[in-house]
Amino acid sequence: MNDQKVKLEIMLPQHVADELSYMIELINEAGSMAMDANSGYTVEDLAKYILCHIADGSRRPGAWERQMLEMLGLVANDPKHCVYRQSYGKPQSENDELVKVASMPLFDNLSQDQKD
């Protein structure tokens, strides 16, 4: 895995930034299941945490993070997005695409009598 960092800048509506700031304030005061109290977390830390989980859900169809992507409507309507990938990013070869996991029809191997 490449540990090179990429800087992203985003613009958020003020009310969203206010809510995220308040959320981090509460977490810094009381902690959460994922973040310890009194650790000085920032909204940027929160965004990094969330985006890392989104990336994991994108490449791992069986992961709990995929459920979050599905609820947000962020799984592409493409069978390539339903393949487990060991590494991040676009596969360099077909060998990177290991196991088809999600969005497989459940009844493809049933006879017509069994479907009725």
Residue among 36, 76, 35, 78 at smallest CA distance from 57: 76
Is the pLDDT assigned to residue 92 strictly greater than 70?
yes
For residue range 56-74, what is the model confidence (pLDDT) as tens digits? 999 999 999 999 999 999 9
Stretch 92-107: mean pLDDT: 52
Q: How far is residue 60's CA from residue 53's CA, in Å, rounded to a whole number?
A: 10
Measured in residues, the chain has a length of 116
pTM of the predicted structure, to 2 decimals: 0.74
What band does 94 get if pLDDT is binned at 50, 70 and 90? Answer: low
- 91: CB partners within 8 A, 6+ apart: 85, 97
What pLDDT, on a 0 to 100 scale, did the predictor assign at position 95?
A: 57
Per-residue model confidence (pLDDT) at position 36: 93
